[in-house]
Chains A and B, each alone.
Chain A
């Protein structure tokens, strides 16, 4: 497997998804070598062999580079200066490592996750004749909020998708984008939805009593807590959420919106909340993870996924696990498999406000949504994901990469 990050050094859902998929696959008997672009001496992964492509610190995978590709402009050409490594430099080192490694190792299949590793994947296919699976967690169009994005990255994605023997998309939404924007035949693309980690469900998490006391106080005064979690980027549609919040607060002032995360839209969002006159009803937590994030889910009544385009949207399942009622955009992959949720089109601020107000004003609706979605998300599991992946592997191994 060619990946870019693994928890704890992940800055979003990509690392988590790769980790859980690899774990479930190894349970099914797969032998996995997982290449990452940095060296992590602290973390042990028992179920697979993690191969560092460089001896760089984890931070060198270039911060949010995996997610904010559309912002990379100056550094697209690898530099010779070791001090100022750009994401392209790291990719070059990664590529070189994979080239060297494949001289000795002979995997049955190469499974590459997102554009960051596609060049290395293409190498494996071209030079070593290995069957290639391109796994699409997000495309450049998603990351750029359905705008044009970075042309060079489109190029790399296109080449990877063309060269791949099979493509795995994390949702029908993503499958459609791959087909429409990259002109790949639908028959080459398999949809395999992500899932929620078992450890996440069985973990010994307990709500910290001293967490978010001020928010809990408001809750006891009859406030409804609405939250969203994610990177503050154009893809997440947070400005629409903020404007919907303002519409809703005018009808019901006892609403508190929690924006958990960070990103380049942070300043804009803070300013917007002030401009709309709802700053008192909006809380920014900054980037949070682990227990702190779980605490947010726990105090939340309504979780909103406002993404303009969301290939999957694992946070919605996490929120469902913690007993939140869900509101999802129809443009999110997770809304294809979750029925017990309110849904809206990402641009429809009024409908979103409508749904928030409806849940806030009716315990019946809130509890029905909560209970039903809990039953629903439990039927999705990584074991099923792994079984489907293996099917894809076996098929292309049988055909020796010729489809």
Chain B
């Protein structure tokens, strides 16, 4: 049996607007920009909903209905759910239906898509619990598998997940860690007994997520036939293919006119047409086989950039200062017992914020700059610190 474990990550941050120092202590609405403003969460959410969420969910639902053995896993951040509840509640209903068929598994993570694990483990725990509660209340299920923000993984996190009773955890199948080993097996994290480790097959995942529409790619255009061929070849190194990618790959990173939707629809059909092929959820994948080996990642590995580390989020002084300041305020913020204040503060922990302060490739004006909601990393930091000033003011005047 050959299995594909398709896992999609669905997320939108709640962006702070260009919050001026002249508004500090006068106006504490950081997250509502003018509808047509650069950081308008509503406009961006509605745009991506039209381009990606709606058509892709429709495609997935269609396949769930027509193929009882089509399955996938989904991680949904709390910040996405908060926004969907306001601007596109029908999307949540659609996911609810798919979860009820048993063909879709929801993966656990932090509510706020944060990097809290690396700063404050208590806060991390709290955010994971908040997320689990939200998932339970909306979909009636409890996540069995865990993924950390940006797939940031290390041995310590695996230990934490095992203690929490998770069945499995997701990470990047990075060559430097795997060496000669293949990502197409189930592994066990070093130092754990029951926890299973699923590793992203980044080549086959990125063929779809990044390269699909790249005309300079020697393999462009990617056809289903060609892709299936590659899968057949890759299955010689193990029968479990972990395709992990952003949900927005479909429609937002790869636009509709690239043919990405047709490709995916056709691919699901063709894959299932062969008798010993199937799709599995992440939990099912963990049970497919006994672990092939123990894998240790003492250093943090992520799914981003060629470095696969946290340097896009936590490298420069601005990012460090911003995150350090945020987490150092925690006990005071929580002690205030002011729910609005606590939520405003937690929205700031989202990893997209330090990402927008990344100067690593800023001068080249590449992908980091292209996807940023701010005019520059420096401006992003400036407005972030203004929000912090106002939070401090609110604390002081409580």
Residues of A at under 8 Å CB distance from B? 247, 251, 339-343, 350, 353-355, 357-358, 361-362, 364-365, 367-369, 372, 376
| Interface segment out of the listed B57-65, B102-110, B332-340, B380-388 | B380-388
* A151 to B: closest C-beta gap in Å: 38
- 6 of the cross-chain contacts (CB-CB < 8 Å) are A247-B22, A339-B363, A342-B378, A342-B382, A353-B22, A358-B382
Residues of B at under 8 Å CB distance from A? 20-22, 316-318, 320-321, 359, 362-363, 365, 375-376, 378-379, 381-382, 385-386
Among A362, A367, A368, contact of B385 (Cβ-Cβ < 8 Å): A362
Give the nearest-CB partner of B381 in chain A: A365
User: Are A367 and B22 in contact, CB atoms less than 8 angstroms apart?
Assistant: no
Give the nearest-CB partner of B320 in chain A: A364
* A260 to B: closest C-beta gap in Å: 25
The CA of A342 and the CA of B374, in the complex, are separated in Å by: 12
User: Are A364 and B22 in contact, CB atoms less than 8 angstroms apart?
Assistant: no
User: Are B22 and A339 in contact, CB atoms less than 8 angstroms apart?
Assistant: no
* CB within 8 Å for A368 and B21 given contacts A355-B382, A358-B385, A361-B385: no
Give the nearest-CB partner of A330 in chain B: B375
Give the nearest-CB partner of A359 in chain B: B382
User: Are B22 and A350 in contact, CB atoms less than 8 angstroms apart?
Assistant: yes
* CB within 8 Å for A362 and B321 given contacts A339-B363, A340-B359, A368-B378: yes
* A346 to B: closest C-beta gap in Å: 15
Among B20, B318, B321, B362, contact of A354 (Cβ-Cβ < 8 Å): B20
User: Are B382 and A365 in contact, CB atoms less than 8 angstroms apart?
Assistant: yes
User: Are B20 and A350 in contact, CB atoms less than 8 angstroms apart?
Assistant: yes
* CB within 8 Å for A368 and B317 given contacts A251-B21, A354-B21, A361-B385: yes
* B263 to A: closest C-beta gap in Å: 37
| A372 CB contacts on chain B under 8 angstroms | 359
Known contacts A343-B376, A354-B21; 4 additional CB pairs below 8 A are A339-B362, A357-B21, A364-B318, A364-B381
The CA of A198 and the CA of B382, in the complex, are separated in Å by: 33
User: Are B363 and A340 in contact, CB atoms less than 8 angstroms apart?
Assistant: yes
* CB within 8 Å for A342 and B376 given contacts A357-B21, A368-B316, A376-B363: yes
The CA of A372 and the CA of B375, in the complex, are separated in Å by: 17
* A181 to B: closest C-beta gap in Å: 27
Give the nearest-CB partner of A361 in chain B: B385
The CA of A391 and the CA of B175, in the complex, are separated in Å by: 46
User: Are A368 and B359 in contact, CB atoms less than 8 angstroms apart?
Assistant: yes
* A243 to B: closest C-beta gap in Å: 14
The CA of A30 and the CA of B382, in the complex, are separated in Å by: 48
* CB within 8 Å for A365 and B20 given contacts A339-B365, A358-B386: no
The CA of A376 and the CA of B381, in the complex, are separated in Å by: 20
Give the nearest-CB partner of B386 in chain A: A358
* A329 to B: closest C-beta gap in Å: 13
* CB within 8 Å for A364 and B21 given contacts A339-B363, A340-B362, A343-B376: no
The CA of A365 and the CA of B317, in the complex, are separated in Å by: 8
User: Are B20 and A368 in contact, CB atoms less than 8 angstroms apart?
Assistant: no
The CA of A148 and the CA of B36, in the complex, are separated in Å by: 34
Q: Which of B317, B320, B386 has the most CB of A within 10 A?
A: B317
The CA of A347 and the CA of B375, in the complex, are separated in Å by: 17
The CA of A369 and the CA of B363, in the complex, are separated in Å by: 12
* A303 to B: closest C-beta gap in Å: 15
The CA of A365 and the CA of B21, in the complex, are separated in Å by: 15
The CA of A247 and the CA of B21, in the complex, are separated in Å by: 11
* A320 to B: closest C-beta gap in Å: 14
The CA of A368 and the CA of B363, in the complex, are separated in Å by: 14
* A99 to B: closest C-beta gap in Å: 48
The CA of A361 and the CA of B382, in the complex, are separated in Å by: 10
Give the nearest-CB partner of A379 in chain B: B363
The CA of A343 and the CA of B381, in the complex, are separated in Å by: 14
The CA of A367 and the CA of B386, in the complex, are separated in Å by: 18
Among A341, A342, A355, A364, contact of B317 (Cβ-Cβ < 8 Å): A364
The CA of A365 and the CA of B365, in the complex, are separated in Å by: 20
The CA of A358 and the CA of B378, in the complex, are separated in Å by: 10
Among B22, B318, B365, B386, contact of A368 (Cβ-Cβ < 8 Å): B318
User: Are A367 and B317 in contact, CB atoms less than 8 angstroms apart?
Assistant: yes
Give the nearest-CB partner of B375 in chain A: A343
The CA of A342 and the CA of B377, in the complex, are separated in Å by: 9
| A340 CB contacts on chain B under 8 angstroms | 359, 362-363, 378
Give the nearest-CB partner of B359 in chain A: A372
* CB within 8 Å for A358 and B359 given contacts A364-B318, A368-B316: no
* B126 to A: closest C-beta gap in Å: 27
| B378 CB contacts on chain A under 8 angstroms | 340-342, 365, 368-369
User: Are B359 and A354 in contact, CB atoms less than 8 angstroms apart?
Assistant: no
